[in-house]
Amino acid sequence: MNRLLLLEDDPSLSKSLMKYLRQNGYSVDWAKNGEEALSLSYENEYMLYLLDINVPLLNGIDLLSALREAEDKTPAIIISAQIDVHSVTQGFIAGADDYVKKPFDPEELLIRVQAKTSQFVKYLSFGKYKIDLKTKQIYEGELPLYFGRVQQNLFISLVQNYPNPVTKEELMLLLDKPSDLALRVNITTLRNTLDVEIKSVRGVGYQII
């Protein structure tokens, strides 16, 4: 289970966050108001809540307080533009595990999400591909794919670091006989095997996009 509940009434921010989180292996349900989020929390099991404070019908603080009173111990991260000490304190008193202040870099949020969910995450997704992080088996949909161990490890490294590039030095460590030529050959093999785009980032390494 790698399912998150996002409570956020800004459609633009919600869509960009959901896209980014889904590209990094998470399934995300979106609630536009607190009542909707409360209903979803009763209907589904989540590994983490992402809660804005100023939302319609039931604010994020009151929602979290209600969930904690109902003995819902699901980890929760408050994401809010309210950065005063009182608001932050109220968030933690209500039962938040972390507090992210708007505006924020999506990568910062991802790091915090991963820190709270790493013990639960079993799969990593990218496009139509899924990676079993325990066995390192790569799937296209439900179909397992089989190719060399080196290409397998390169793909996993590129996906785990998305949207950032992976340095050439890091990728070299995944090769049996490290060399510039061997790395280029293996990257070319990946491009030809999978329906993904991998670009060379000059002076850095490679990036999957």
| 124 or 46, which is more confident | 46
- Highest mean pLDDT among 42-46, 119-123, 200-204 belongs to 200-204
Q: Residue ranges of the domains in the chain?
A: 3-117, 123-208
pLDDT at 119: 65
| 117 or 31, which is more confident | 31
> What's the whole-number mean pLDDT along residues 91-105?
83
For residue 1, pLDDT over 60 is answered with: no
CATH architecture of the domain 123-208 equals: Orthogonal Bundle (1.10)
Both tokens of residue 202?
Answer: 């000059």
CA distance 171 to 161: 12
| 105 or 140, which is more confident | 140
* pTM for this predicted structure: 0.57
- pLDDT tens-digit readout, 178-190: 999 999 999 999 9
> What's the whole-number mean pLDDT along residues 92-120?
81
Q: Give 24's pLDDT tier (boundaries 50, 70, 90).
A: confident
For residue 136, pLDDT over 70 is answered with: yes
CATH architecture of the domain 3-117 equals: 3-Layer(aba) Sandwich (3.40)
Both tokens of residue 107?
Answer: 């990568």
Buried b (16+ CB within 10 A) or exposed e, 19-28: ebbebbbbeb
Q: 3-state DSSP call for residue 103? A: coil
pLDDT at 204: 92
For residue 47, pLDDT over 80 is answered with: yes
Q: Give 121's pLDDT tier (boundaries 50, 70, 90).
A: low
Contact 165, 206 (CB under 8 A): yes
Contact 4, 16 (CB under 8 A): no
pLDDT at 120: 64
| 37 or 122, which is more confident | 37
Buried b (16+ CB within 10 A) or exposed e, 98-134: bbbeeeeebeebbebbeebbeeebebbbbeebbbeee
Residue listed under structure tokens 């949909």: 141
Q: Which helix (H) or strand (E) holds 185?
A: helix 180-193
